[in-house]
Amino acid sequence: MGGVRTDMDGRTDLPGLYACGEAAATGVHGANRLASNSLLEGLVFGARAAEAILADDSPQAGPFTIVHEVEAIERGELDLSDIRSSLRSAMWRNVGVERSGARMQDVLGMFDFWNRYAMERVFDAPDGWEVQNLLTVGRLTTQAALARTESRGTHARSDFPDTSEAMAGHFLWRADAVKPAWSAVGQLACTRVGTT
């Protein structure tokens, strides 16, 4: 549902970044599409994106060096599996099928706590990176669900049970935004993500 805005060949607003299938918002089947439709989009637009990538004459990204400049911190030992399990449970109970503003605010407090321990570390293994990614996506999902003060599609708010036409459209989050912005113009999606 939704995804990154693309053209008909899978190009996004970022040069060299392509998307298709579940990751893309092509608009072919609308915003609320079924799995069989997204499978079709994956096959058709996957092939179109592959052709566009091969024809893309922009400079290709090559190998580059990543420099870690995070100073060592003295913190308690970190149990990644415990954070992953707690995160899964908190998201399911509070940001799952039915949501409320108070419960989602509480989850944001949990993210603040977990982030103090997990986000300032440099990991040598994929497990740590995955937990950091889960924390980032979980926080953004919670912030977006909290900002949408209505119920629409699979987003059900117990404190806002009705659909609001003022909120029709796609959610945009800008890096410089203090508050999320709504737009009802065409197929808009997140192109830059701001985190706190």
Q: Which of 13-27, 54-68, 110-124, 174-188 has the lowest mean pLDDT?
A: 174-188
Q: Are 150 and 160 in contact (CB under 8 A)?
A: yes
Confidence of residue 132 (pLDDT cuts 50, 70, 90): very high
Residues 60-101: pLDDT tens digits?
666 667 666 656 666 667 889 999 999 999 999 999 988 999
Confidence of residue 45 (pLDDT cuts 50, 70, 90): confident
Q: Give the chain's mean pLDDT.
A: 78
Q: C-alpha 122: how far from its chain's center?
A: 22
Classified as helix, coil or strand, 140 is helix
What is the pLDDT at residue 187?
30
Q: How many CB atoms lie within 10 A of CB 99?
A: 22
What is the pLDDT at residue 75?
66
**Structural domains in the chain, sorted by start:** 4-55 (no CATH), 80-160 (1.20.58.100)
- The residues, any chain, with a CB within 8 Å of residue 145's CB and separated by 6 or more, are 95, 99, 104, 155, 157
- The residues, any chain, with a CB within 8 Å of residue 14's CB and separated by 6 or more, are 191
Q: Which of 32-41, 59-68, 70-79, 184-193 has the lowest mean pLDDT?
A: 184-193
